[in-house]
Structure 1
Amino acid sequence: MIFARVLSLFAVIVLALPAAAETRVPQSQTEISLGFAPLVKQAAPAVVNIYAKRVVQQRSSPFQDDPFFRQFFGDDLRGRPRVQNSLGSGVILSADGIVVTNFHVVGEATEIRVVLNDRREFDAQVMLADQDSDLAILRLDGAEDMPHLFLRDSDSVEVGELVLAIGNPFGVGQTVSSGIVSGLARSGVATGSAWGYFIQTDAPINPGNSGGALIDVNGRLIGVNTRILSRSGGSNGIGFAIPANLVSQFVTQARAGNATFQRPWAGIGGQIVDADMAQSLGLDRPGGIVVSDLHPASPFLSAGLKQGDVVTHVQGEAVNTPAEMLFRMSVVGLGQKARIAYVRDGQADQTQVAMMAAPETPARQTTILGDRSNLPGMQLSNINPAVIAQYGLALSASGVVVETPGPYGQRVGLKPGDVLQNINGTDITTTSDAERALSERRSTLSMDVKRGLKRLRLRFRL
């Protein structure tokens, strides 16, 4: 009875290196008693602890300019920089010391120290970082012949597979937890500053596991652990990992010298197809994204797609949400062509779409307003596809965007991403228009601003 229970728990075991790994039922009581030990011995040396330091500015007191409080507290009321420490995990992906971790572990860090399982320590430098994907690629200084994990095609992962999560939860030291793949294509969860696309697992993941490895029974990396759903802060069996296929693209771009991750640009607006829409669009079941808008420079428009078409697959993989579609395009990579399947008037068709970055045409003509302006220090740019993608503006957006409001612009309520439409009755279409309008000497200033779906009118005295 005990043998049967153990056999069902450890249905597979690793008995070879990744290049020649096989999945099979344990053949003896000895193999069963080992559990995951051979797998852990093989994979654990490639999972590292990451210690990061960053300097943050403490918020200043609202009483810092009050002479009554200043006479007692002096400069203590002003914000002072302080050192903030963070702890996380990472995974070595190559013999020359390329490491993947989460952005929230090393983002804006001034010092990064990586500690291996054998207690060796290395300083590390950030090669590429992206807050939206919550991924960062590091290089270990002076590293060679490093233990490392191989990436598995994460599209081949299936629900129910046994997995191990390796990391450093709560700073207690390297820990291994086991579970299964609970779900795929999880795209309704936010990471960084955007909606992500994840593998879900019930392998316990806790604070400190961030950036650690989610591996299969052959010791291959299928994902990077990034977050959990929890009310208590501890694991409730709902953890998420960033798929290895996206990690592969990050490594490729980092080795190419990119400091920031460049995503392919679709230039389309879309809506999820639900059950109510499916029948009217000629679909036999809900799924895909119906194209509601296309930018004139969109590569999808160039490939022949039109409003009302339903995009169903990218490179043969189904897409049902914008996050899924962006993930699939990112995995294909810039400079490539993706096979796009779509439905038009009930008829299925395919086309090839170029994976390109959002174009910087027309030129941004970025302008920083000088001291003679009513709002000095504000940075403005003309809107183009790259600006639209950067700030998540509507595809139809045009005119001038606020990139940095500056001290005076921030004081009157302007934010990065605001679109200036009118200043003192003058329509704004270029940065030159805005610069001229804001240089006029007057006692009051009126601005029409579009922020997301809202239209604001700001009026204030100068």
Structure 2
Amino acid sequence: MRRSFSAPVLIKTLVAAVAAWTIATAPAAAETRVPTSQMEISLGFVPLVKQAAPAVVNIYAKRVVQGRVSPFRSDPFFGNMFRDFGSARPRVQNSLGSGVILSGDGIVVSNYHVVGGATDIRVVLNDRREYAATVLLSDEQSDLAILQLQGGAQMPHLDLRDSESVEVGELVLAIGNPFGVGQTVSSGIVSGLARSGAASGQGRGYFIQTDAPINPGNSGGALIDVNGRLIGINTSILTRSGGSNGIGFAIPSALVAQFVDQARAGNSVFERPWAGIVGQPVDADMAGGLGLSLPSGVAVADLHVLSPIGAAGVVVGDVITEVDGAPVNTPAEMLYRMSVAGLGGTAAMTVFHDGVERAVDVALTKAPDSPARDPRRLGRGMVFEGLEVVTINPAVIAEFNLPMRASGVLVTGAGAGGGRAGLQRGDVLLAVNGTEIATSAQAEAALRAAGRKLRLEVLRGGRRISMRLRF
């Protein structure tokens, strides 16, 4: 039998149904709800972008790059004959990137590859205000740089969120200046954590992975969460086609916070704790031999005699599985955990030794710069004029990424004379004319006393090379 309703009754019925549906589907006040439509996502990002975009800036940097130097420049005979051959003609190189203002007094973070070596840096805000900037602290290995705006006050800025709380699947926005077209916002999710050794360029370490499009010019820009807090600095993209259809990597905010602290403390070079070990990831084959139930952790393959990890009782063959409660599976991840803990304190490490798990406290200290590196530069009239050498110590090993047990004398600059002879930056001098050398002073004395015949023993890329020269 068909029933009919009057208009008032029908309206009351519909209102009650809508109210019941709203109560049933509404999230609790403290609950995080995933947007259910593209419209919700779009509307939800509008206030977020208005809040965060003013703190993301465009960076224009200029650096002077020297042209190639003539190999005959210092030669007494060929120098005049080939005076204009390969002459060093400086040229100006421009770079474009992004940055993020982190404080009201104009502290800005960007990538090293955007501002490294720059002689002139201009920072342009979203409202077109323009400021000169100077680099307070930079580090090529981490690909981070901290800048100070000149005359900046009451600047818009982003708050840092502890990147340790970031989870895979979170919605994120990438804000930057791709291709120089102007400030652009792209959306995505956090698609991975603990990515190490995957980014391109000089940056090495631990990254947040995202599928938010990142293009040239986005470098140094912000990766923010849905509350407008900075969780990472966009640094690169991994792509097969060269376009934005790849996966992006961002440097976590926890490391950025350490950079800001050291810059405010007056450091111009980032100081990170020294591990003093050679480690390798534990794979399935190694796990069985080490007695581990799962392939995890970093196996200690070698230790420097002054290693703070060694001083805590760790020996070759042990496996480091956690640092400060966080699991580590690669050497880069372990060093990242030590870096965000900072210098001066200790890190609690979980170590697997002979089938037993134990905890050790490791002092977070810099690599010892002793014995003194004693830099030397060979003067005019010597066989290798302009050659620059230092004595190898733990600090030099860490700075130049040398083998853990490296010793001898490191070539830090070949100069004109060393370059003609085939020496390269990064070579390790072991012996001169059959006499072993251990310090830069011994290397200088041996080369000064060399006659017209010279025999060098050099370590290059792990290979020992014998060089015989006649002058």
Query: After TM superposition, is the score higher than 0.5?
Result: yes
The residue that corresponds to 2:289 in the other structure is: 280
Give the residue type in structure 2 aligned to 1:177. Answer: S
Q: 283-292 vs 183-192, which deviates more?
A: 183-192
Instruction: Decide whether the 8 Å contact of 2:199 with 2:236 is kept in 1.
Output: no
Residue by residue, what CA displacement relative to the aligned partner does 1:37-89 show, whole Å, maximum 9, x if unpaired? 01001100100001111111234689999xxxx99x99596342221111110
SS of the residue 1:39 aligns to = helix
Aligned partner of 1:251 among 236, 239, 260: 260
Residue 223 in structure 1 maps to residue 232 in structure 2: yes
Q: Deviations over 1:140-162 (max 9, x none)?
A: 00111111111111111111110
Q: How does 1:102-251 map to 2 (within 5 A)?
A: 102-193=111-202, 195-251=204-260
What's the TM-score once normalised by structure 2's chain length? Answer: 0.88
Match of 1:306 among 312, 315, 327: 315
Q: CA deviation at 1:381?
A: 1.6
Partner of 1:389: 398
Q: Please identify, of 315-324 and 26-35, the stretch whose mean Cα deviation from structure 2 is larger.
A: 26-35
Q: What does residue 398 of structure 1 align with? A: 407
**SS at 2:411's partner residue?**
strand
Task: Confirm whether residue 345 of structure 1 aligns to residue 350 of structure 2.
Answer: no
Mark the CA change 1:454 to 1:77 in structure 2 (over 3 Å): closer, same or farther: closer
Please give the alpha-carbon distance, in whole angstroms, between the structure 2 residues aligned to 1:58 and 1:386. 31
Letter in 1 for 2:151: G
| Deviations 1:348-407 (CA, angstroms, capped at 9, x unpaired) | 111111111100111122222223532122222211111111111222112221122221
- How far apart are 1:455 and its partner, in Å? 0.8
Question: 1:295, CA displacement in angstroms?
Answer: 1.0
> What is the DSSP-based 3-state SS (H/G/I as helix, E as strand, rest coil) of the residue aligned with 1:269?
strand
1:338 alignment partner, SS class: strand
What is the distance in 2 between the residues matched to 1:348 and 1:299?
A: 19
Residues 446 and 458, structure 1, Cα contact 8 Å, conserved in 2: yes
- Indicate the SS of the match to 1:55: strand
AA in 1 matched with 2:135: V
Q: Which residue of 2 aligns with 1:325?
A: 334
Moved more, 76-85 or 349-358: 76-85
Query: Which residue type is aligned with residue 214 of structure 1?
Result: L
Q: Could you tell me which residue of structure 2 aligns to residue 36 of structure 1?
A: 45
The structure 2 residue matched to 1:261, chosen from 267, 270, 279, is 270
Query: Alignment partner for residue 336 of structure 1, among 329, 336, 345?
Result: 345
Asked if 1 retains the 8 angstrom alpha-carbon contact of 2:97 and 2:218, the reply is yes
Distance in 2 of aligned mates of 1:419 and 1:12: 68
Pair 1:12–1:139, CA change in 2 (3 A): farther
**Superposition deviation, residue 197 in structure 1:** 1.4
Mapped pair 1:423 → 2:432: yes
Relative to structure 2, which stretch is displaced further, 110-119 or 183-192? Answer: 183-192
Moved more, 169-178 or 424-433: 424-433
Question: Given that residues 100 and 110 in structure 2 are in contact (C-alpha distance below 8 angstroms), is that contact kept between their aligned partners in structure 1?
Answer: yes
Q: What's the counterpart of residue 109 of structure 2? A: 100
SS at match of 1:178: strand
Q: Secondary structure of 1:417's match?
A: coil
Residues 77-104 of structure 1, C-alpha deviation per residue, up to 9 Å, x if partnerless?
Answer: 6342221111110000011000000111
C-alpha distance in 1, partners of 2:244/2:139? 25
Q: Residue 436 of structure 1 corresponds to which residue in structure 2?
A: 445
CA contact (8 A) 1:12 1:25 kept: no
The secondary structure found in structure 2 opposite 1:52 is strand
CA distance in 2, matches of 1:209, 1:361: 41
- The one-letter amino acid paired with 2:166 is V
Which stretches in structure 1 are left out of the alignment for 5+ residues? 1-10, 16-20
What amino acid maps onto 1:288 in structure 2? Answer: G
Aligned-pair identity in percent equals 66
How far apart are 1:108 and its partner, in Å? 0.8
Contact 1:373 1:435 in 2 (8 A): no
Query: Partner of 1:3 in structure 2?
Result: none
Q: Pick which of 160-169 and 189-198 moved more.
A: 189-198
State the Cα distance separating 1:425 from its structure 2 match. 1.1
Q: Distance in 2 between matches of 1:159 and 1:12?
A: 25
C-alpha RMSD of matched pairs (Å): 2.7
Report what 1:295 is aligned to: 304
Contact 2:200 2:238 in 1 (8 A): no
- 1:61 to 1:283, Cα distance in 2 relative to 1, 3 A: same
Q: Go from structure 1 to structure 2 and tell me whether the alpha carbon gap of 1:393 and 1:284 turns closer, same or farther (over 3 Å shift).
A: same
CA drift at 1:318: 1.0
Larger Rg: 2
Aligned residues: 441
Work out the CA distance in 1 between the residues paired with 2:427 and 2:123.
Answer: 40
| 1:6 aligned partner | none
Residues 1:452 and 1:74: Cα distance change in structure 2 (over 3 Å): closer
| Structure 2 CA distance for aligned equivalents of residues 203 and 234 of structure 1 | 13
> Relative to structure 1, is the Cα distance of residues 116 and 421 closer, same or farther in structure 2, using a 3 angstrom cutoff?
same
More moved, 372-381 vs 344-353? 372-381
Q: For the structure 1 residues 230 and 237, does the alpha-carbon distance in structure 2 shift closer, same or farther, using more than 3 Å as the test?
A: closer
Structure 2 residues not aligned, in runs of 5+:
1-24
- Counterparts in 2 of 1:459 and 1:224: CA distance versus 1, 3 Å: same
Deviates more, 1:161-170 or 1:440-449: 440-449
TM-score, with structure 1 as normaliser: 0.90
Q: Is the alpha carbon distance of 1:407 and 1:77 closer, same or farther for their aligned partners in structure 2, counting shifts above 3 Å?
A: closer
Paired residue type of 2:349 = I
The match for 2:6 is none
Cα distance in 2 between the residues matched to 1:111 and 1:191: 25
Map Cα deviations across residues 311-368 of structure 1 (whole Å, 9 max, x no partner). 0111111111111111111111111211111100111111111111100111122222
Amino acid at match of 1:201: T
Would the aligned equivalents of 1:125 and 1:139 in 2 still touch at CA under 8 Å? yes
- Determine the structure 2 residue equivalent to 1:47: 56
- Cα distance change, pair 395–275 in 1 and its aligned pair in 2 (3 A): same
Q: Which moved more, 1:38-47 or 1:357-366?
A: 357-366
> 3-state DSSP class of the match of 2:122?
strand
Counterpart code for 2:427:
D
CA contact (8 A) 2:61 2:94 kept: yes
